[in-house]
């Protein structure tokens, strides 16, 4: 059976990787991308897909109910893969309003539209609402705590993670109350091609290439569990095809690394792969800066459920994934240079000045 997917946030980092994954693996499925093209959305991420006859891009906001109603009906959508969000913790500290609007109100608007569409079509069992969420909803771990599982209580600490937690609760409630066939995934830190320069790994790659300081927050000992974005896409593929409605699946890379060690690994790769760096060795650029307010110490994911129930496991380890990523940023200056806009410089100044 061919699916008809509405992919929100498909011009962002993970969304665009997912669109490429889906078009490659399921060329007969219909793919409609809905994206507002905020600062984080970029049509260049979808280059080459416009010629694909089953692909359509629509610029629009997930808070706009009539746009969503029209797309669900006219495109006869059976699956929503919901990536659209404000996604950067530092921006949520500077201005939480957009996070509540898109992440909470936008998710509510999509759920309500999808519920009515599903009911109008007599509640088909194959419909799916996949809500792509984050491990940050579980809060922060101490060094010896066990990793987050699907039953870890929610304890979000930033405006970003609180808004994602709010959206997760709404999704859960729509299954519980209306039996809308929803699934939630909570994933750890992603990295790879098309990630906006504000996030740790692209920021370090780009600053190294420009000879700028590499700002490490606090003591650099915060821990994240890194997952290559292609592995996240294959996990979401497994969840859409085989996941059980009403369930939550945690997705992680089994790659816990302290930030400072990750930055040192990136510096070594840059020294090896980038000719004529402005500052060499790159590690000379590492600078410890003021910590992020409320900075979560450690995230780690227990991904046993998706492994045992859906047979998914990550295929790219951190050394391989970082090498692929550094090579990608080295060879795609034309992609990232235009993103260092005046707006981006103003944001950068606010966070790092």
Q: Which residues bind ligand DAU (CB under 6 A)?
A: 87-89, 134-136, 188-189, 199-200, 203, 215-217, 222, 224, 259, 292, 299
Min. distance of Cβ 104 from ligand DAU in angstroms?
Answer: 15
> Is residue 43 a contact residue for ligand NAD (CB under 6 A)?
no
User: CA–CA separation, 107 vs 100, rounded Å?
Assistant: 10
Q: Which is nearer to ligand NAD, 106 or 230 (CB)?
A: 106
> Is residue 201 a contact residue for ligand NAD (CB under 6 A)?
no
Identify the CA nearest to 262 among candidates 238, 284, 286, 278: 286
Q: Write 336-345 long-range contacts (CB < 8 A, 24+).
A: 336/197, 336/202, 336/206, 339/42, 339/196, 339/197, 340/197, 340/206, 343/39, 344/39, 344/197, 344/198
The SS3 assignment for 3 reads coil
> Is residue 132 a contact residue for ligand NAD (CB under 6 A)?
yes
164-183: contacts with ligand NAD (CB under 6 A):
164
| Ramachandran area for residue 139 (φ above 0: left; ψ -120 to 50: alpha; else beta) | left
Question: 160 catalytic, yes or no?
Answer: yes
Q: Which is nearer to ligand NAD, 37 or 238 (CB)?
A: 37
Question: 256 catalytic, yes or no?
Answer: no
CA distances from 120 to 72, 77, 115, 182 (A): 11, 12, 9, 17
**Binder of residue 9, out of ligand DAU, ligand NAD, none (CB less than 5 to 8 A by kind):** ligand NAD
**Which residue's CB atom is positioned nearest to ligand DAU?**
134
**Binder of residue 35, out of ligand DAU, ligand NAD, none (CB less than 5 to 8 A by kind):** ligand NAD
Min. distance of Cβ 206 from ligand DAU in angstroms?
Answer: 11
The SS3 assignment for 289 reads strand
Share in percent of the chain as helix, strand, coil (round to 5): 45, 15, 35
Q: Which is nearer to ligand DAU, 113 or 229 (CB)?
A: 229
Query: Given candidates 5, 6, 7, 14, which one binds ligand NAD under the rule CB under 6 A?
Result: 14
Residues belonging to the active site: 135-136, 160
């Amino acid at each position: 059976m061919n699916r008809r997917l509405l992919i929100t946030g498909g011009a962002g980092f993970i969304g665009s990787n997912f669109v490429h994954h889906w078009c490659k693996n399921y060329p007969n499925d219909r793919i409609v991308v809905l994206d507002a093209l905020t600062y984080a959305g970029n049509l260049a991420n979808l280059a080459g897909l416009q010629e694909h006859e089953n692909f359509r891009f629509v610029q629009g906001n997930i808070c706009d109910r009539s746009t969503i109603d029209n797309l669900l009906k006219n495109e006869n959508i059976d699956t929503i893969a919901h990536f659209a969000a404000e996604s950067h913790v530092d921006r949520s500290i500077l201005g939480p309003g957009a996070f509540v609007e898109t992440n909470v109100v936008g998710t509510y608007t999509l759920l309500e539209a999808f519920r009515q569409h599903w009911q109008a079509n007599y509640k088909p069992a194959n419909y799916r609402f996949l809500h792509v969420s984050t491990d940050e909803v579980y809060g922060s771990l101490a060094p010896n705590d066990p990793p987050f599982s699907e039953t870890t209580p929610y304890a979000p600490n930033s405006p970003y993670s609180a808004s994602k937690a709010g959206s997760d609760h709404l999704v859960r409630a729509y299954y519980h109350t209306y039996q809308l066939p929803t699934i939630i995934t909570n994933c750890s830190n992603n990295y790879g091609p098309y990630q906006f320069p504000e996030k740790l790994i692209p920021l370090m790659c780009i600053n190294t290439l420009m000879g700028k300081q590499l700002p490490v927050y606090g003591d650099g000992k915060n821990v994240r569990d890194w997952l290559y974005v292609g592995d996240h896409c294959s996990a979401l593929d497994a969840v859409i095809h085989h996941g059980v409605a009403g369930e939550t699946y945690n997705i992680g890379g089994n790659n816990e690394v302290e930030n400072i060690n990750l930055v040192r690994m990136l510096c070594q790769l840059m020294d090896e792969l980038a000719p004529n760096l402005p500052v060499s060795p790159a590690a000379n650029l590492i600078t410890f800066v003021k910590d992020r307010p409320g900075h979560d110490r450690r995230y780690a994911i227990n991904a046993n459920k998706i492994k045992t129930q859906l047979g998914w496991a990550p295929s790219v380890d951190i050394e391989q994934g970082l090498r692929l990523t550094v090579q990608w940023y080295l060879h795609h200056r034309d992609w990232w240079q235009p993103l260092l806009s005046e707006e981006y410089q103003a944001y950068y100044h606010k966070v790092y000045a």
